[in-house]
């Protein structure tokens, strides 16, 4: 009897901890599943990639943070970087980078290609890299920046293209992060 009870409890624990609900099924409108737009350094971010939710998540040993932001001035040049990674089913990752520009709250910055010093990219697994270019562009809007508390917040959207000419649409992007 003891072994049957123990087996039952082990099975309950196994099934309740191994199942995870897909966040995209929790909302009638996918935008409702994105984090709220805040300006407090809440360390949140998310967007829709071809209508599917991308937020930081998943776990993996020794593979770094799922949400990372940097904004610094080094050797005479500014660098802003935002990385959103979800290590779930396909290890999806979105990156935005702006170089050589001091960011100002209330300003919008163009995302084009890496030779223009501002671009965005998206990767869906090991293969499948998409990047903005001169024809597939986007924008990032900085709504708040606090250099004393290292907080930066804003919104973004862009289209990006892979080597085969396939295009993805990133919409409703938002972030509120503490940067290093």
Is the separation of the CB atoms in 141 and 108 below 8 Å? yes
DSSP string, 120-171: EEEEESSS-EEE--SSS-EEEEEEEEETTTTEEEEEEEEEEE-TTS-EEEEE
pLDDT of residue 64: 63
Q: Reply yes or no on whether the pLDDT at 32 is more than 90.
A: yes
pTM: 0.81
Do residues 111 and 118 touch, judged by C-beta distance below 8 A? yes
For the chain, what are the domain ranges? Answer: 30-178
* pLDDT for residue 75: 86
pLDDT of residue 62: 52
């Amino acid at each position: 009897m003891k072994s049957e009870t123990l087996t039952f409890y082990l099975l309950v624990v196994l099934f309740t901890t191994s199942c995870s609900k897909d966040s995209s099924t929790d909302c009638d409108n996918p935008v409702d599943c994105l984090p709220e737009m805040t300006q407090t350094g809440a360390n949140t971010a998310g967007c829709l990639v071809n209508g599917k939710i991308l937020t930081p998540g998943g776990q993996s040993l020794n593979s770094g943070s799922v949400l990372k932001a940097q904004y610094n001035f080094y050797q005479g040049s500014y660098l802003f970087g935002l990385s959103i990674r979800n290590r779930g089913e396909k290890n999806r990752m979105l990156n935005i980078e702006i170089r050589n520009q001091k960011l100002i709250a209330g300003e919008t910055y163009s995302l084009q290609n890496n030779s223009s010093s501002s671009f965005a990219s998206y990767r869906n697994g090991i293969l499948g890299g998409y990047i903005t270019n001169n024809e597939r562009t986007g924008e990032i809007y900085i709504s708040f920046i606090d250099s004393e508390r290292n907080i930066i917040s804003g919104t973004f959207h862009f289209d990006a293209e892979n080597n085969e000419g396939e295009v993805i649409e990133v919409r409703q992007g938002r972030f509120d992060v503490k940067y290093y």
